[in-house]
Amino acid sequence: MTNIIDLTKTSGAKPVTSIESPLGGTPQPAPEVDASEANLESRVNTRRAELIFKLTELRASLHLDAVEAGDRVKARLSELSHIVKEGVVDGWGNLGDTVKRKLDRWLDDSSRQLVAQPKSGQS
């Protein structure tokens, strides 16, 4: 048996703008994401995608310098993974100042790394 969900029908429901407490009482407002934190998340995700693209380009090359550059890109992506795993615990809307500084520093360092990377087709 196949279950089919018809997404073309709309129920007319309004978007949720508050969270009801499981204990009853007045609903709490939904957490708002600060625009600067949303911007930081967007910049980090964009840079991460650029580095992944660069890594795939570098892996296509057999040159020693491209292999070494690929290792540096992997290390930079690993660094981001550790920062996000340790610092983005409650979501991007609840970042502490230390995590914001680490992510900003990571963005600066990774931008210099992208500029310094050799193109994969060069000798």
pTM over the 0.85 mark: no
Cα–Cα distances in Å, from 80 out to 46, 75, 88?
12, 9, 11
Average pLDDT, stretch 36-44? 83
Average pLDDT, stretch 68-73? 92
Average pLDDT, stretch 74-100? 90
- From 8-12, 92-96, 99-103, the region with the lowest mean pLDDT: 8-12
Q: Which two tokens stand for residue 63?
A: 């040159």
9 CB-side CA count, 13 A? 4
